[in-house]
Structure 1
Amino acid sequence: MFYFDPTMIILIPGIILAMWAQSQVSSTFNKYSRVRSFNGLTGAEVARSILDSAGLFDVSIEQVRGSLTDHYNPRTKVLALSEDVYSSTSVAAIGVAAHEVGHAIQHNEKYAPLLIRNAIVPVANFGNYFSWILILIGIFFAATNLMYLGIVFFLAVVIFQLITLPVEFDASRRAIVQLEGRNLLIGDEINGAKKVLKAAAMTYVAAAANAILQLIRLLAIVSRNDD
Protein backbone atom coordinates (compact mmCIF):
# COMPACT_ATOMS: atom_id res chain seq x y z
CA MET A 1 0.00 0.00 0.00
CA PHE A 2 1.02 3.60 -0.60
CA TYR A 3 1.52 4.49 3.04
CA PHE A 4 3.89 1.56 3.59
CA ASP A 5 6.18 2.02 0.62
CA PRO A 6 9.99 2.20 0.99
CA THR A 7 9.97 5.99 1.15
CA MET A 8 8.64 5.69 4.70
CA ILE A 9 12.24 5.04 5.73
CA ILE A 10 12.95 8.73 5.05
CA LEU A 11 10.66 9.69 7.93
CA ILE A 12 12.30 7.47 10.57
CA PRO A 13 14.88 10.06 11.82
CA GLY A 14 12.12 12.65 12.21
CA ILE A 15 9.86 10.23 14.07
CA ILE A 16 12.67 9.34 16.46
CA LEU A 17 13.46 13.04 17.00
CA ALA A 18 9.80 13.83 17.65
CA MET A 19 9.47 11.01 20.19
CA TRP A 20 12.64 12.14 21.97
CA ALA A 21 11.52 15.79 22.01
CA GLN A 22 8.12 14.87 23.41
CA SER A 23 9.66 12.75 26.14
CA GLN A 24 12.04 15.58 27.02
CA VAL A 25 9.33 18.23 27.30
CA SER A 26 7.14 15.90 29.39
CA SER A 27 9.90 14.87 31.79
CA THR A 28 11.33 18.39 32.12
CA PHE A 29 7.92 19.98 32.68
CA ASN A 30 6.98 17.32 35.23
CA LYS A 31 10.30 17.78 37.05
CA TYR A 32 9.98 21.55 37.41
CA SER A 33 6.26 21.34 38.09
CA ARG A 34 7.32 19.98 41.45
CA VAL A 35 9.61 22.97 42.13
CA ARG A 36 7.66 25.80 43.73
CA SER A 37 8.80 29.34 43.00
CA PHE A 38 10.03 31.48 45.86
CA ASN A 39 7.62 34.35 45.11
CA GLY A 40 4.55 32.10 45.32
CA LEU A 41 2.85 33.67 42.31
CA THR A 42 0.74 31.52 40.01
CA GLY A 43 1.24 31.25 36.27
CA ALA A 44 -1.81 33.45 35.71
CA GLU A 45 -0.56 36.09 38.16
CA VAL A 46 2.86 36.20 36.53
CA ALA A 47 1.28 36.47 33.09
CA ARG A 48 -0.95 39.33 34.25
CA SER A 49 2.00 41.11 35.83
CA ILE A 50 4.10 40.97 32.65
CA LEU A 51 1.16 41.92 30.43
CA ASP A 52 0.37 44.96 32.57
CA SER A 53 4.01 46.04 32.66
CA ALA A 54 3.99 45.90 28.84
CA GLY A 55 0.80 47.96 28.71
CA LEU A 56 -1.27 45.06 27.36
CA PHE A 57 -4.26 45.64 29.59
CA ASP A 58 -6.63 44.55 26.80
CA VAL A 59 -5.24 41.01 26.75
CA SER A 60 -7.34 38.72 28.90
CA ILE A 61 -6.24 35.47 30.56
CA GLU A 62 -8.39 32.36 30.55
CA GLN A 63 -7.96 28.84 31.85
CA VAL A 64 -8.37 26.02 29.33
CA ARG A 65 -8.58 22.28 29.72
CA GLY A 66 -5.75 19.89 29.05
CA SER A 67 -2.05 19.69 29.71
CA LEU A 68 0.36 22.00 27.89
CA THR A 69 -2.49 23.40 25.81
CA ASP A 70 -1.29 26.94 26.49
CA HIS A 71 -1.49 29.41 23.63
CA TYR A 72 -2.09 33.04 22.70
CA ASN A 73 -4.89 33.94 20.28
CA PRO A 74 -3.95 37.18 18.47
CA ARG A 75 -7.43 37.50 16.96
CA THR A 76 -9.28 37.60 20.29
CA LYS A 77 -6.30 38.79 22.38
CA VAL A 78 -6.83 35.94 24.82
CA LEU A 79 -3.98 34.27 26.66
CA ALA A 80 -5.11 30.69 27.30
CA LEU A 81 -3.32 28.86 30.10
CA SER A 82 -3.76 25.15 30.79
CA GLU A 83 -4.86 23.74 34.12
CA ASP A 84 -1.23 22.79 34.88
CA VAL A 85 -0.12 26.39 34.44
CA TYR A 86 -2.96 28.76 35.34
CA SER A 87 -3.12 28.19 39.09
CA SER A 88 0.27 26.56 39.68
CA THR A 89 3.11 28.34 41.47
CA SER A 90 5.76 26.06 39.98
CA VAL A 91 8.83 27.16 38.04
CA ALA A 92 7.56 25.21 35.03
CA ALA A 93 4.16 26.92 35.07
CA ILE A 94 5.66 30.39 35.39
CA GLY A 95 8.08 29.71 32.53
CA VAL A 96 5.31 28.53 30.22
CA ALA A 97 3.02 31.42 31.17
CA ALA A 98 5.77 33.95 30.49
CA HIS A 99 6.46 32.30 27.13
CA GLU A 100 2.85 32.78 26.05
CA VAL A 101 3.01 36.40 27.17
CA GLY A 102 6.03 36.66 24.87
CA HIS A 103 3.71 35.90 21.96
CA ALA A 104 1.30 38.62 23.10
CA ILE A 105 4.17 41.11 23.19
CA GLN A 106 5.29 39.95 19.74
CA HIS A 107 1.79 40.57 18.44
CA ASN A 108 1.64 44.03 20.01
CA GLU A 109 5.03 44.95 18.53
CA LYS A 110 4.09 43.49 15.13
CA TYR A 111 6.99 41.07 15.22
CA ALA A 112 7.48 40.18 11.54
CA PRO A 113 7.94 36.39 11.80
CA LEU A 114 4.76 36.13 13.90
CA LEU A 115 2.78 38.17 11.37
CA ILE A 116 4.07 36.01 8.53
CA ARG A 117 3.22 32.81 10.40
CA ASN A 118 -0.30 34.00 11.22
CA ALA A 119 -0.83 35.03 7.59
CA ILE A 120 0.09 31.63 6.15
CA VAL A 121 -1.85 29.50 8.65
CA PRO A 122 -4.87 29.05 6.29
CA VAL A 123 -2.58 28.21 3.37
CA ALA A 124 -0.58 25.74 5.48
CA ASN A 125 -3.74 24.02 6.72
CA PHE A 126 -5.07 23.79 3.17
CA GLY A 127 -1.74 22.52 1.87
CA ASN A 128 -1.38 19.91 4.59
CA TYR A 129 -4.70 18.34 3.62
CA PHE A 130 -4.95 18.81 -0.16
CA SER A 131 -1.32 18.10 -1.02
CA TRP A 132 -1.85 14.39 -0.33
CA ILE A 133 -5.12 14.32 -2.24
CA LEU A 134 -3.47 15.85 -5.31
CA ILE A 135 -0.50 13.50 -5.11
CA LEU A 136 -2.70 10.40 -4.72
CA ILE A 137 -4.89 11.45 -7.65
CA GLY A 138 -1.76 12.24 -9.65
CA ILE A 139 -0.34 8.77 -8.94
CA PHE A 140 -3.62 7.04 -9.79
CA PHE A 141 -4.00 8.86 -13.11
CA ALA A 142 -0.26 9.12 -13.81
CA ALA A 143 -0.65 12.91 -13.84
CA THR A 144 2.77 14.33 -12.99
CA ASN A 145 1.52 17.91 -12.97
CA LEU A 146 -0.96 17.14 -10.19
CA MET A 147 1.75 15.47 -8.12
CA TYR A 148 4.03 18.48 -8.40
CA LEU A 149 1.12 20.79 -7.59
CA GLY A 150 0.62 18.77 -4.41
CA ILE A 151 4.26 19.32 -3.50
CA VAL A 152 3.87 23.06 -4.05
CA PHE A 153 0.94 23.06 -1.62
CA PHE A 154 2.97 21.10 0.91
CA LEU A 155 5.72 23.71 0.71
CA ALA A 156 3.38 25.99 2.66
CA VAL A 157 3.49 23.49 5.53
CA VAL A 158 7.29 23.46 5.48
CA ILE A 159 7.47 27.26 5.41
CA PHE A 160 5.01 27.45 8.31
CA GLN A 161 7.10 25.08 10.42
CA LEU A 162 10.33 26.90 9.62
CA ILE A 163 8.92 30.36 10.39
CA THR A 164 7.56 28.97 13.66
CA LEU A 165 11.11 28.40 14.95
CA PRO A 166 12.18 32.06 15.31
CA VAL A 167 8.73 32.91 16.69
CA GLU A 168 9.00 30.33 19.46
CA PHE A 169 12.65 30.95 20.29
CA ASP A 170 12.04 34.70 20.47
CA ALA A 171 9.02 34.24 22.75
CA SER A 172 11.17 32.16 25.11
CA ARG A 173 13.92 34.78 25.05
CA ARG A 174 11.40 37.49 25.92
CA ALA A 175 10.02 35.32 28.71
CA ILE A 176 13.42 34.84 30.37
CA VAL A 177 14.23 38.55 30.08
CA GLN A 178 10.97 39.43 31.84
CA LEU A 179 11.26 36.76 34.52
CA GLU A 180 14.85 37.60 35.33
CA GLY A 181 14.62 41.37 34.94
CA ARG A 182 11.55 41.70 37.14
CA ASN A 183 12.70 39.12 39.72
CA LEU A 184 9.66 36.95 39.08
CA LEU A 185 12.04 34.00 39.28
CA ILE A 186 15.40 34.05 41.03
CA GLY A 187 18.62 32.03 41.10
CA ASP A 188 18.29 28.43 39.98
CA GLU A 189 14.62 29.02 39.20
CA ILE A 190 15.70 30.88 36.05
CA ASN A 191 17.77 27.89 34.96
CA GLY A 192 14.78 25.63 35.55
CA ALA A 193 12.55 27.84 33.41
CA LYS A 194 15.18 27.88 30.66
CA LYS A 195 15.31 24.09 30.64
CA VAL A 196 11.53 23.84 30.39
CA LEU A 197 11.38 26.30 27.50
CA LYS A 198 14.36 24.72 25.74
CA ALA A 199 12.69 21.30 25.93
CA ALA A 200 9.46 22.77 24.56
CA ALA A 201 11.38 24.43 21.71
CA MET A 202 12.75 21.06 20.63
CA THR A 203 9.22 19.91 19.77
CA TYR A 204 9.07 22.71 17.19
CA VAL A 205 12.49 21.75 15.86
CA ALA A 206 11.22 18.17 15.51
CA ALA A 207 8.07 19.37 13.72
CA ALA A 208 10.16 21.38 11.25
CA ALA A 209 12.48 18.42 10.66
CA ASN A 210 9.51 16.13 10.03
CA ALA A 211 8.00 18.58 7.55
CA ILE A 212 11.28 18.76 5.62
CA LEU A 213 11.65 14.98 5.61
CA GLN A 214 8.06 14.61 4.45
CA LEU A 215 8.80 17.02 1.60
CA ILE A 216 11.83 14.95 0.62
CA ARG A 217 9.66 11.84 0.72
CA LEU A 218 7.05 13.44 -1.53
CA LEU A 219 9.73 14.41 -4.03
CA ALA A 220 11.00 10.82 -3.97
CA ILE A 221 7.50 9.46 -4.57
CA VAL A 222 6.86 11.83 -7.46
CA SER A 223 10.27 11.18 -8.98
CA ARG A 224 9.73 7.40 -8.76
CA ASN A 225 6.30 7.58 -10.39
CA ASP A 226 7.51 10.07 -12.97
CA ASP A 227 10.08 7.50 -14.12
Structure 2
Amino acid sequence: MSYYLLMILLFGVSMLVQAYLSNTYGRFSKIRNARNLTGADVARLILDENGLAHVPVERVPGQLTDHYDPLKKVVRLSETNYDVPSLAAAAVAAHEVGHAIQDKIGYPALVLRARMLPALQLGANFGPLLILAGLFLNVAGLFWLGIIAFAAAVLFHLVTLPVEFDASRRALASLYQRSYLSANEVGGARSVLTAAALTYVAAFAIALAQLVYFLGMAGGRRD
Protein backbone atom coordinates (compact mmCIF):
# COMPACT_ATOMS: atom_id res chain seq x y z
CA MET A 1 0.00 0.00 0.00
CA SER A 2 2.86 2.38 0.84
CA TYR A 3 4.23 1.93 -2.70
CA TYR A 4 0.95 3.04 -4.26
CA LEU A 5 0.81 6.05 -1.97
CA LEU A 6 4.37 6.91 -2.97
CA MET A 7 3.55 6.60 -6.67
CA ILE A 8 0.45 8.78 -6.26
CA LEU A 9 2.62 11.35 -4.48
CA LEU A 10 5.32 11.21 -7.18
CA PHE A 11 2.83 11.49 -10.02
CA GLY A 12 1.23 14.40 -8.20
CA VAL A 13 4.61 16.08 -7.86
CA SER A 14 5.30 15.39 -11.53
CA MET A 15 2.05 17.11 -12.52
CA LEU A 16 2.94 20.08 -10.33
CA VAL A 17 6.39 20.26 -11.94
CA GLN A 18 4.82 20.22 -15.41
CA ALA A 19 2.43 22.97 -14.37
CA TYR A 20 5.33 24.96 -12.93
CA LEU A 21 7.26 24.57 -16.19
CA SER A 22 4.25 25.63 -18.24
CA ASN A 23 3.65 28.66 -16.02
CA THR A 24 7.33 29.70 -15.91
CA TYR A 25 7.83 29.24 -19.63
CA GLY A 26 4.59 31.07 -20.40
CA ARG A 27 5.59 34.00 -18.20
CA PHE A 28 9.05 34.49 -19.67
CA SER A 29 7.94 33.80 -23.23
CA LYS A 30 6.01 37.08 -23.00
CA ILE A 31 9.06 39.11 -21.97
CA ARG A 32 11.22 40.35 -24.83
CA ASN A 33 14.96 40.37 -24.36
CA ALA A 34 16.70 43.74 -24.61
CA ARG A 35 18.71 42.82 -27.72
CA ASN A 36 15.61 41.60 -29.53
CA LEU A 37 17.21 38.25 -30.39
CA THR A 38 14.93 35.40 -31.40
CA GLY A 39 15.70 31.85 -30.39
CA ALA A 40 16.97 31.23 -33.90
CA ASP A 41 19.30 34.23 -33.61
CA VAL A 42 20.69 33.05 -30.28
CA ALA A 43 21.20 29.50 -31.49
CA ARG A 44 22.99 30.64 -34.64
CA LEU A 45 25.28 33.03 -32.77
CA ILE A 46 26.36 30.50 -30.12
CA LEU A 47 26.79 27.72 -32.68
CA ASP A 48 29.05 29.89 -34.85
CA GLU A 49 31.11 31.00 -31.85
CA ASN A 50 31.80 27.37 -30.97
CA GLY A 51 32.91 26.22 -34.39
CA LEU A 52 29.54 24.71 -35.27
CA ALA A 53 28.65 26.84 -38.28
CA HIS A 54 27.77 23.65 -40.16
CA VAL A 55 24.96 22.81 -37.70
CA PRO A 56 21.65 24.18 -39.03
CA VAL A 57 18.84 25.62 -36.92
CA GLU A 58 15.40 24.43 -38.00
CA ARG A 59 11.85 25.36 -37.06
CA VAL A 60 9.55 22.53 -35.92
CA PRO A 61 5.83 22.63 -35.05
CA GLY A 62 4.51 22.40 -31.51
CA GLN A 63 5.36 23.95 -28.16
CA LEU A 64 8.49 22.95 -26.25
CA THR A 65 9.33 20.46 -29.00
CA ASP A 66 12.84 21.92 -29.06
CA HIS A 67 15.72 19.43 -29.26
CA TYR A 68 19.14 18.71 -30.69
CA ASP A 69 19.37 15.76 -33.08
CA PRO A 70 22.83 14.18 -32.63
CA LEU A 71 22.37 11.89 -35.62
CA LYS A 72 21.57 14.60 -38.16
CA LYS A 73 23.54 17.28 -36.30
CA VAL A 74 20.76 19.85 -36.27
CA VAL A 75 19.20 22.11 -33.64
CA ARG A 76 15.43 22.18 -33.87
CA LEU A 77 13.39 24.89 -32.19
CA SER A 78 9.63 25.04 -31.74
CA GLU A 79 7.89 27.73 -33.77
CA THR A 80 7.49 30.17 -30.88
CA ASN A 81 11.06 29.87 -29.70
CA TYR A 82 12.41 30.07 -33.24
CA ASP A 83 10.60 33.28 -34.18
CA VAL A 84 10.04 35.22 -30.94
CA PRO A 85 12.70 37.37 -29.19
CA SER A 86 11.72 36.36 -25.66
CA LEU A 87 13.76 35.44 -22.60
CA ALA A 88 12.32 31.93 -22.70
CA ALA A 89 13.22 31.49 -26.37
CA ALA A 90 16.80 32.59 -25.73
CA ALA A 91 17.11 30.20 -22.78
CA VAL A 92 15.71 27.19 -24.62
CA ALA A 93 17.74 27.86 -27.77
CA ALA A 94 20.97 28.23 -25.82
CA HIS A 95 20.21 25.01 -23.94
CA GLU A 96 19.76 23.01 -27.15
CA VAL A 97 22.99 24.46 -28.51
CA GLY A 98 24.56 23.29 -25.25
CA HIS A 99 23.77 19.74 -26.38
CA ALA A 100 25.38 20.43 -29.76
CA ILE A 101 28.53 21.59 -27.97
CA GLN A 102 28.45 18.46 -25.80
CA ASP A 103 28.24 16.39 -28.96
CA LYS A 104 31.20 18.22 -30.49
CA ILE A 105 33.49 17.67 -27.50
CA GLY A 106 32.28 14.14 -26.80
CA TYR A 107 30.80 14.94 -23.39
CA PRO A 108 30.96 11.52 -21.63
CA ALA A 109 27.45 11.49 -20.20
CA LEU A 110 25.95 12.42 -23.59
CA VAL A 111 27.93 9.67 -25.33
CA LEU A 112 26.80 7.16 -22.72
CA ARG A 113 23.17 8.25 -23.02
CA ALA A 114 23.24 7.88 -26.80
CA ARG A 115 24.61 4.35 -26.47
CA MET A 116 21.94 3.50 -23.91
CA LEU A 117 19.00 4.74 -25.99
CA PRO A 118 18.11 1.30 -27.43
CA ALA A 119 18.21 -0.13 -23.91
CA LEU A 120 15.87 2.62 -22.69
CA GLN A 121 13.34 1.93 -25.42
CA LEU A 122 13.37 -1.81 -24.78
CA GLY A 123 13.51 -1.53 -21.01
CA ALA A 124 10.75 1.04 -20.67
CA ASN A 125 8.41 -0.75 -23.08
CA PHE A 126 9.08 -4.41 -22.33
CA GLY A 127 10.67 -4.51 -18.87
CA PRO A 128 7.39 -4.33 -16.89
CA LEU A 129 5.74 -6.81 -19.28
CA LEU A 130 8.57 -9.31 -18.82
CA ILE A 131 8.38 -8.86 -15.05
CA LEU A 132 4.63 -9.52 -14.96
CA ALA A 133 4.95 -12.44 -17.37
CA GLY A 134 7.66 -13.95 -15.19
CA LEU A 135 5.44 -13.64 -12.13
CA PHE A 136 2.31 -15.13 -13.70
CA LEU A 137 4.21 -17.92 -15.45
CA ASN A 138 6.47 -18.42 -12.43
CA VAL A 139 9.57 -18.19 -14.62
CA ALA A 140 12.38 -16.64 -12.59
CA GLY A 141 14.61 -16.08 -15.61
CA LEU A 142 11.94 -14.07 -17.40
CA PHE A 143 11.24 -12.05 -14.27
CA TRP A 144 14.89 -11.10 -13.78
CA LEU A 145 15.31 -10.31 -17.46
CA GLY A 146 12.53 -7.78 -17.04
CA ILE A 147 14.20 -6.37 -13.92
CA ILE A 148 17.48 -5.90 -15.81
CA ALA A 149 15.72 -4.31 -18.79
CA PHE A 150 13.81 -1.86 -16.61
CA ALA A 151 16.93 -1.07 -14.56
CA ALA A 152 18.61 -0.03 -17.82
CA ALA A 153 15.76 2.42 -18.42
CA VAL A 154 16.18 3.83 -14.90
CA LEU A 155 19.92 4.21 -15.48
CA PHE A 156 19.15 6.14 -18.67
CA HIS A 157 17.04 8.59 -16.67
CA LEU A 158 19.91 8.98 -14.19
CA VAL A 159 22.49 9.63 -16.91
CA THR A 160 20.15 12.19 -18.46
CA LEU A 161 20.38 14.43 -15.39
CA PRO A 162 24.03 15.53 -15.76
CA VAL A 163 23.51 15.90 -19.53
CA GLU A 164 20.64 18.33 -19.02
CA PHE A 165 22.23 20.19 -16.12
CA ASP A 166 25.47 20.67 -18.05
CA ALA A 167 23.64 21.92 -21.16
CA SER A 168 21.82 24.50 -19.01
CA ARG A 169 25.09 25.57 -17.38
CA ARG A 170 26.65 26.11 -20.80
CA ALA A 171 23.56 27.97 -21.98
CA LEU A 172 23.55 30.46 -19.11
CA ALA A 173 27.30 31.03 -19.40
CA SER A 174 27.02 31.75 -23.13
CA LEU A 175 24.05 34.08 -22.71
CA TYR A 176 25.74 36.11 -19.99
CA GLN A 177 29.37 36.11 -21.10
CA ARG A 178 28.48 37.17 -24.64
CA SER A 179 25.99 39.74 -23.31
CA TYR A 180 23.10 38.27 -25.26
CA LEU A 181 21.15 38.75 -22.04
CA SER A 182 21.79 41.19 -19.23
CA ALA A 183 22.44 40.06 -15.65
CA ASN A 184 18.78 40.64 -14.78
CA GLU A 185 17.57 38.79 -17.87
CA VAL A 186 19.78 35.79 -17.15
CA GLY A 187 17.79 35.31 -13.95
CA GLY A 188 14.65 34.77 -16.03
CA ALA A 189 16.47 32.35 -18.34
CA ARG A 190 17.71 30.43 -15.30
CA SER A 191 14.15 30.13 -14.01
CA VAL A 192 13.01 28.59 -17.30
CA LEU A 193 15.87 26.10 -17.43
CA THR A 194 15.49 25.17 -13.76
CA ALA A 195 11.80 24.42 -14.28
CA ALA A 196 12.67 22.24 -17.28
CA ALA A 197 15.36 20.40 -15.30
CA LEU A 198 12.86 19.53 -12.57
CA THR A 199 10.85 17.49 -15.09
CA TYR A 200 13.84 15.20 -15.60
CA VAL A 201 14.33 14.85 -11.85
CA ALA A 202 10.66 13.88 -11.44
CA ALA A 203 10.88 11.32 -14.27
CA PHE A 204 13.92 9.72 -12.64
CA ALA A 205 12.23 9.60 -9.22
CA ILE A 206 9.16 7.86 -10.65
CA ALA A 207 11.22 5.33 -12.58
CA LEU A 208 13.38 4.62 -9.52
CA ALA A 209 10.32 4.09 -7.32
CA GLN A 210 8.95 1.60 -9.85
CA LEU A 211 12.25 -0.29 -9.90
CA VAL A 212 12.31 -0.47 -6.10
CA TYR A 213 8.77 -1.84 -6.17
CA PHE A 214 9.70 -4.51 -8.71
CA LEU A 215 12.70 -5.50 -6.59
CA GLY A 216 10.35 -5.74 -3.61
CA MET A 217 8.26 -8.15 -5.64
CA ALA A 218 11.39 -10.22 -6.15
CA GLY A 219 11.81 -10.40 -2.37
CA GLY A 220 8.21 -11.49 -2.03
CA ARG A 221 8.77 -14.31 -4.50
CA ARG A 222 11.67 -15.62 -2.42
CA ASP A 223 9.53 -15.53 0.71
Check if 1:170 corresponds to 2:172: no
Check if 1:92 corresponds to 2:88: yes
Cα distance, 1:194 vs. partner? 0.4
Check if 1:179 corresponds to 2:142: no
SS in 1 for 2:179: coil
| Percentage identity across paired residues of the two chains | 46
- Tell me what 1:28 maps to: 24
Aligned counterparts, 1:31-180, within 5 A: 31-180=27-176
Check if 1:194 corresponds to 2:190: yes
Unaligned runs of 5+ in 1: none
How far apart, in 2, do the equivalents of 1:83 and 1:107 lie?
24
Query: Aligned match of 2:4 in 8, 15, 26?
Result: 8
Unaligned runs of 5+ in 2: none
Q: Which runs of 4+ in 1 moved over 2 A?
A: 5-10, 220-227
Cα distance, 1:82 vs. partner? 0.5
Cα distance, 1:116 vs. partner? 0.3
Q: Deviations over 1:105-157 (max 9, x none)?
A: 00001000000001100011111112122112111111223212211111111
SS in 2 for 1:183: coil
Cα distance, 1:10 vs. partner? 3.5
SS in 1 for 2:194: helix
Paired residues in the alignment total: 223
SS in 2 for 1:184: coil
Normalising by structure 1, report the TM-score. Answer: 0.94
SS in 2 for 1:162: helix
* Worse overlay, 16-25 or 104-113: 16-25
User: AA paired with 1:136?
Assistant: L
SS in 1 for 2:106: coil
How far apart, in 1, do the equivalents of 2:160 and 2:4 lie?
25
